[in-house]
Each structure stands twice: as C-alpha cells, then as structure tokens.
C-alpha cells in the first residue's frame, strides 16, 4: 500500500494532501485541534505537564468533534493527535488518559529510542486503535526509532523548525530522502514519513511531498491562527519578523534563561533573536543575563522591553512568510489547495507546450 494511503486509512476523515498542526505546547489547545480536524486535517493538542489540564482539552475536543466522530469507522477514536514531550515523564502516569480518550494519534518527541519504545508499547496496550507517531531530527534517530518501536509514522523535523528540536539537525530537503533510502536499506518500507520545519504555505508543502513526505506539519504558520493560544504581543512579533535566516536562531540559552536547563543535551530551540541571545553571544554568563532578565521583567523595570526579550518567541525560519491572522480551517484549506496547484504547475514543467515551429 502507498505510504500516503496508510495515513488515509489511519485518519479516515482527512483529505489529501494531509495538513497537520504541530502539537505546540501551550499554544495548541482543543480550539485549534477541532478547527484543523473539521477542515479535513489532523488537529493536534500540545503537551501540558498536568493530566487534569490535558483531560479538559480532550473532553472539549470530544464535544467539539462529535459530528466527525460519529461517521468514523471506529467512533470510539477521537479524531485528533495529542503531543507528549517524553523526557521527564513515565508512560504509566498517562496510560489512563490514552485509554479513556483514545486519540487517533499520540505524537511523541524529545527522548531516546529506548524511551520511545517503552512509550509505544504502553500506548498500544492502553489504546490499540491509537497510532503512535515519533518526531525525530536525524537519519540516525529515524533508524534507531524505527527499529526500537516501529511507529505508525515518523515525523522528520528539519532544522528550520520553530520550537525545540535536534541541536545537530538537517534541512528537510536532505533529511526526508535520506531517511527514506536508509529505512529501505534496513528493510523498513511501511512507515509513512511526515515533514516538519520551515513549511508555511503550499510551496513548501508541495516540495515536502515531492521529497517523499506523506503529510505536512506546520507550527509557525498556525501561530497566526485565531484559535491558537498566543498573546497578541507574541503574534505581532511573528507578523513583524522577516528574513528567518537573520531574525531566528537556534540556541539552548532560550531554556537556560529560566533556571536550570532540564532539556537533554541533544536539543535546543529556534526562537526570534532577542536580547538574551545577544548578551549570551557576547560571552556574558547565563546567571548574569538571568539576573538582568528577571529584574527587567519585574513590574516597574526601567528598560522598555519587547515581547521577544521577555518570553522568547519560538518560531521557524518561515516566519517571514507568516503575515496575517486567519482561521485555522482557512489556513488548512488554503495550504491544501495551493499545494495541489503547485504540484500541477510543477508537473507541467515536464510537459512544456512546444512552441509551433520550434525543433
């Protein structure tokens, strides 16, 4: 079976090409997941390190998606994905949530292949109809994860991605084809690949599909959705940014600024450049920057600070193409239709109309 057909079978309400919102912790809650799923995409809820809060979001998604659920071949399955940040958590704590809500997808990220293996086993035991997707950022990680737990899809996160990711990453343009080739060499032909990182419109989405992806994840683009939970100042910073190559940067300082950095050493994150990063680049020790940062944030601070200096604005290199507020459903439909147009236009390049009289 073609790999994209496997995803269609797993997610029967979705339309081609498959558009997915990233499970952005703190920003992607039930409103966004509902809107994306209702538009024929895979809507996802981001991780919350608290079972009660996540249950509330899943309950709200269940209510909002009753119309979709009842026409599914298996109406027990909740037609959304749920993101889990794996490091620092034990699967046993979350089993009851998977068993109760049976999300169509549980998306795992940021851990070792062995940890993903234990989680995959636990999820499949608790909710056999739930599909397990694992996000990775290198060929080595993709092969290790495929062999450790044979996920139902691998999300290949390129280095252009906003938010946390592999410190030593590669762009999707080489990551997707190399992972496909190397998996095939290992005799693994049945895991669909999904692209993430730097994709914000139909052009990027069409390119990802041509590279071999069976679906497309967007995080930064959905920061512009009305249903995404971000403060106005955060969204304005996204709309005002351009040239992601110079306005965004990957660093671990964006986590270290808040206190001890608990993130495993393999990961950093891409944010808009800010004062914290600039000071760090000058060689100033993180505790000195932290003291300034907390001081400046305190009410009555004397320095005028931009949102990017205070909270850290996670965003990918595609940020310069994200300009207007829109409903999530409209974003899904626009990117889906534009992807098809771009693919048709590209196909025409192979069949140029011959000018009469030319050889």
Q: Minimum CB separation from ligand FMN for residue 143, in Å?
A: 19
Looking at the Cβ atoms of 17 and 197, the one nearer to ligand FMN is: 197
Pick between residue 69 and residue 120 the one whose CB is nearest to ligand FMN. 120
Q: Which residues contact 122 (CB under 8 A, 6 or more apart)?
A: 91, 92, 95, 98
Minimum Å gap between C-beta 53 and ligand FMN is 14
- From residue 178 to residue 207, the character string flagging contacts with ligand FMN as x (rule: CB under 6 A) and all else as - is ------------------xxxx--------
Q: Binding of ligand FMN at residue 163 (CB under 6 A)?
A: yes
160 binds ligand FMN (CB under 6 A): yes
Binding to ligand FMN by residue 314, rule CB under 6 A? yes
Contact predicate 86/120, CB 8 Å: no
Burial label, 187 (beta-carbon count in 10 A; 0-12, 13-18, 19+): exposed
Site for ligand FMN in 109-148 (CB under 6 A): 109, 135
Beta-sheet pairing, 248-251 with 267-272:
antiparallel
Q: Distance between CA atoms of 43 and 62, rounded to whole angstroms?
A: 12
Using CB positions, name the residue nearest to ligand FMN. 219
Q: Where is 121: in which H helix or E strand? A: helix 113-126
Please pick, from the candidates 41, 43, 162, 215, the single residue that binds ligand FMN as defined by CB under 6 A. 162
Give 303's contacts (C-beta < 8 A, 6+ positions apart): 296
* Stretch of residues binding ligand FMN (CB under 6 A), selected from 217-225, 248-256, 284-292, 329-337: 217-225
Phi, psi of 166 (to 5 degrees): -65, 130
The answer to whether residue 247 forms part of the interface with ligand FMN (CB under 6 A) is no
Instruction: Give the integer Cα–Cα distance in Å for 260 and 258.
Output: 7
Binding mask 318-337 for ligand FMN (x = CB under 6 A): x-------------------
- On whether the CB atoms of residues 47 and 131 are closer than 8 A, the answer is no
Q: Write phi, then psi, for 173 (nearest 5 degrees).
A: -65, -30
Residues that bind ligand FMN (CB under 6 A): 22-25, 27, 46-47, 83, 85, 109, 135, 157, 160-164, 196-199, 217-220, 314-316, 318
């Amino acid at each position: 079976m073609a790999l994209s057909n496997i995803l269609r079978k797993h997610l029967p309400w979705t339309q081609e090409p498959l558009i997915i919102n990233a499970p952005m912790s703190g920003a992607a809650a039930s409103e966004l997941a509902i809107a994306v799923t209702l538009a024929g995409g895979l809507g996802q809820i981001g991780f919350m390190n608290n079972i009660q809060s996540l249950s509330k979001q899943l309950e709200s998604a269940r209510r909002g998606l009753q119309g979709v659920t009842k026409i599914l071949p298996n109406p027990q399955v909740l037609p959304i994905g749920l993101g889990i940040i794996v490091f620092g958590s034990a699967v046993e704590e979350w089993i009851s949530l998977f068993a109760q809500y049976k999300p169509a997808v549980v998306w795992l990220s940021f851990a070792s292949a062995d940890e993903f293996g234990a989680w995959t086993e636990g999820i499949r035991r608790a909710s056999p109809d739930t599909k397990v997707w694992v996000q990775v950022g290198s060929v080595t990680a993709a092969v290790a994860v495929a062999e450790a737990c044979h996920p139902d899809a691998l999300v290949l996160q390129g280095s252009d991605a906003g938010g946390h990711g592999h410190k030593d990453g590669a762009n999707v343009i080489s990551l997707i084809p190399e992972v496909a080739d190397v998996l095939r060499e290992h005799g693994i032909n049945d895991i669909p690949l999904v692209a993430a990182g730097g994709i914000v419109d139909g052009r990027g989405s069409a390119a990802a599909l041509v590279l071999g992806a069976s679906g497309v994840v967007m995080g930064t683009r959905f920061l512009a959705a009305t249903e995404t939970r971000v403060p106005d100042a955060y969204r304005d910073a996204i709309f005002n940014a351009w040239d992601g190559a110079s306005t965004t940067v990957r660093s671990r300082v964006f986590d270290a600024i808040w206190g001890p950095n608990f993130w495993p050493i393999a990961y950093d994150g891409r944010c808009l450049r800010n004062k914290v990063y600039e000071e760090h680049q000058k060689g100033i020790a993180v505790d000195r920057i932290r003291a300034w940062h907390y001081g400046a944030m305190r009410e009555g601070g004397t320095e005028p600070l931009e949102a990017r200096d205070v909270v850290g604005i996670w965003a990918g290199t595609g940020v310069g193409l994200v300009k207007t507020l829109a409903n999530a459903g409209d974003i899904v439909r626009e990117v889906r239709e534009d992807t098809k147009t771009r693919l048709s236009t590209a196909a025409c390049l192979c069949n140029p109309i011959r000018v009469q009289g030319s050889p």
